[in-house]
Amino acid sequence: MDLRIVHLYPDLMSIYGDRGNVRTLERRAAWRDIAVEVRTCTAGETLDPEWADLYFFGGGQDRGQHLVGADLASANGAALRSAIAGGSAVLAVCGGYQLLGHQYAPQTGPVIPGLGVLDVTTRATKTRFVGDLLAERDGATLVGFENHSGLTTLGPAAVPLARVTHGHGNNGKDRTEGAVQGAIIGTYCHGSVLPKNPWLADLLLTWALRRRHGAVALTTLDDREEDAAHDAAARVARSRR
């Protein structure tokens, strides 16, 4: 088997070590003898909607989001929508997560229209949510580091990625963290999120491989080091007041 990954806007939307998510997907696939090719695509380049099995979309500052939002309003946005409709999986973090929604409203300046493939809406506030986060999903735990001022609300087509036990998550009120819709995952967890949450990395790999290879049962890996990192982050999150 082989896996094709596109890292979207790595020069504009890649802060807080988020490119480590791509490295994690590469390594966890390679450890299973799955060949991996990674390409990048940024503003002004042409996105091929037929090539990738998985897209990674990282976080950035408001300036980067304005530039990316404009690019998504062009043919690249239509190409990404087509790729998602064709079965490609997506992991989007923070700013990327916001831009996959209906819109992002910054504190100043015009609203940035989103791609609309996630049923979420985000507006910026003066409150900033910073710190380690711990959340629960179907018996698994999610850890990460959040740093955002966006308040994201979910519509009926999206479901939360996890329920917050320590930290703030989407908006600091409803205890939701991230969103899932089809094979798209959005999250506010930086850090990067996948090295410390191998179950989430493997879920994305399963979805991505399904596009061209059908249902795939991944072999089990020795995740003792990953689990130790996860547990250490969880302890820090639980220490938050």
Active-site residue set: 94, 190
In this structure, the number of other CB atoms found within 10 A of the CB of residue 120 comes to: 26
Distant-in-sequence, close-in-space partners of 76: CB < 8 Å, separation ≥ 6: 41, 43, 45, 46, 47
Could you give the CA distance from residue 12 to residue 44 in angstroms, rounded to a whole number? Answer: 12
Cβ-in-10-Å burial (0-12, 13-18, 19+) of 19 comes to: middle
Copy the structure tokens of residue 14: 């890649």
Could you give the CA distance from residue 193 to residue 204 in angstroms, rounded to a whole number? Answer: 12
Distant-in-sequence, close-in-space partners of 19: CB < 8 Å, separation ≥ 6: 7, 10, 58, 192
Local structure of 44: helix, strand or coil: coil
Check residue 107 and report its DSSP letter: S
